[in-house]
Amino acid sequence: MALLQLQKDQPFSLDLTLSCGQVFRWDKNPDGWWYGVVGNHVIKIRQDGAALSYEGVPERFIRHYFSLDTDLNAITASFDCDPYIHSAIVQCRGLRLVRQPAWECLVSYICATNSNIPMIRRRIATIAQKFGTAIEFEGKHFYTFPDPSSLGDSCPATLSECKLGYRSPYVLGTACDIPDEKKWQQTMVSLPYEQARRELMKLKGVGPKAADCIILFAFQKYEAFPVDVWIRRIMREHYLKTLSEDSALTGWEYDAIRRFARQHFGEHCGYAQEYLYAAREG
DNA sequence: ATCCAGGAAAACG
DNA sequence: CGTTTTCATGGA
């Protein structure tokens, strides 16, 4: 068991960070410990005030994954520009965007379309269980997320057990389009936002929303502003009151919303998006 | 039954 | 070209 002491000027909420909907593979036990699989590691972690207790990975891994070295106060200050976002910032103090493994993030958001969070979590868990590698930890089995070739070579019958519905061929096709996970990841991080977005949208099952989520959560390009039905509702009610009430989100509207957000919240508008999403009330 | 959920592809004018 | 329809799944 290792201990990490957070600094006073380093706000962090493990609970908000792991339960705000950006990740799908973390679970909290009633005793307060979070368990998750990141890459090839099972991580066990809990927070008591400014103290983080953890095991499974070295400290530098924790710092990197949870973005503990980014100046969160500076980031939230950069988009703290109106009363509504201000209240979200106060309400979600300590929420950080984590650095998700890119391939898993990509598949996660292909599986997320027209679906809800519990369903997404179940799909990702089943994919890992069927195609990943088992890791034993505290007598229980955890599963790594399978690499592209493991999924690409999978038999369709087993994949259908993951209940992806019409998303199955998208996941399969994308697995075949990305033979080299590491090379793909390196290429993507080097591209500027708009270019990375266009590249991602070439993949089957990746539209504007999924592309923006992947860019934000896996590549830390904080100018991405994913617009889902919740964000559209919030933006319509508090920022773009001229938007029509019907929930259809056209391509033109999506661009109008993300461009407004980029201008209004600034270069970290993606971070602002996650605060808006986390502070949403049903 | 009907509607909805971190949408996107395919079909249609 | 922009717009509408369809898609599979399960919970409310």
For domain A2-70, give the CATH number: 3.30.310.260
Select, from the ranges A141-145, A246-250, A251-255, the one with the highest average predicted confidence (pLDDT): A141-145
Q: Which residues contact A243 (CB under 8 A, 6 or more apart)?
A: A232, A235, A236, A253, A257
The nucleotide whose C1' lies nearest the CA of A160 is C8
Tokens 């993507």 found at: A188
Of A166-175, A239-248, A261-270, which gets the smallest average pLDDT?
A: A239-248
C1' of B10 to CA of A23 (Å): 30
Q: In the structure, how far is the CA atom of residue A134 from the C1' atom of nucleotide B6, in angstroms?
A: 28
How is chain A split into domains, by residue range?
Answer: 2-70, 102-219
Fold of A102-219: Endonuclease III; domain 1 (1.10.340)
Q: What value does the mean pLDDT of chain A take?
A: 96
Q: Report the nucleotide nearest the CA of residue A252, measured to C1'.
A: C2
Residue A99 has pLDDT above 90, yes or no: yes
What does each C-alpha distance from A59 to A37, A48, A52, A55 come to in angstroms?
16, 17, 10, 9
Tell which strand B nucleotides have any atom below 7 Å from a protein Cβ.
4-9
> Does the pLDDT of residue A81 top 70, yes or no?
yes
Give, in Å, how far the C1' of B2 lies from the CA of A67: 43
d(CA A164, CA A60): 35
pTM to 2 decimal places: 0.97
Residue A247 in this model has a pLDDT that exceeds 70: no
Task: Tell me if domain A2-70 and domain A102-219 are identical in fold.
Answer: no
- Mean pLDDT for the stretch of residues A33-62: 98
Query: How sure is the predictor about A246, in pLDDT bands with cuts at 50, 70 and 90?
Result: low
**In degrees rounded to 5, what are phi and psi of residue A244?**
-70, 160
The per-residue pLDDT for A101 is 98
